[in-house]
Amino acid sequence: MSKKSEERQRRKALKLQRFEAKKADFVARVNDAPEPKLRAQPAQSFSPKIAPHLAQAAAQQEKSPKASKDGSRFGARVTWCIAKADTQGEWTWGEPRAWQRVEWDSYISPQLGHFAQLTWGEIDRQSSESGHKMHHDHEISDLVDEAQRRWLELQLEEYDTVFRFRLGATKRAWGYIVQAHFHMVWWERHHRIYPVG
């Protein structure tokens, strides 16, 4: 096992251990709580009659999609923005962080626009010819050291994973996800942020 994977496994084990400790404490507090006593039976309430146009609006609202009960983003459509994009300076390998207009028009906007028509579940099921997921997350520690330092400089340390969309052979859009919203941080052309091979 490599040092990165050992470190990742260690972090995951610590995270799980902290979670289990908090869970046990919470369960103990809930189980020790006294049962509330019923003093009187509440009066039965009746629903008022609703005007037809309000009833129709309420029925329409019930038809609108809601977040899944388990908190998963996979049933929700992809939304995205570039509000947190890091476009200042360049990487040490000479690649500017900012995209050019032609890159925006040719790769970034059309691809992310296409993804916005899909759910996160559909995105998750996309795979390459080799069978690997095309779009997925990485631990921040998997990235090159320079990208890890830049992540901290951008004050994004609360996100310990980074998500990347594959927009071409070596082109990637990197960022983080909050609920079902993708915040694009980096545009990369040459697959250097997470080198392979």
**pLDDT tens across 21-41, in order?**
888 877 777 677 666 666 666
Q: Look at residue 80 and give its three-state secondary structure.
A: strand
Domain-by-domain residue ranges, the chain? Answer: 79-188
Rounded Cα–Cα distance for residues 90 and 96 (Å): 4
Q: What's the mean pLDDT in 88-104?
A: 95
Residue that wins the pLDDT comparison between 105 and 22: 105
Is residue 97's pLDDT more than 60? Answer: yes
pTM exceeding the 0.75 threshold for the entire prediction: no
Locate 149 and state its tokens: 């330092």
**pLDDT tens across 119-157, in order?**
999 999 999 888 889 999 999 999 999 999 999 999 999
Of 118, 116, 134, which is closest to residue 126 (Cα–Cα)? 134
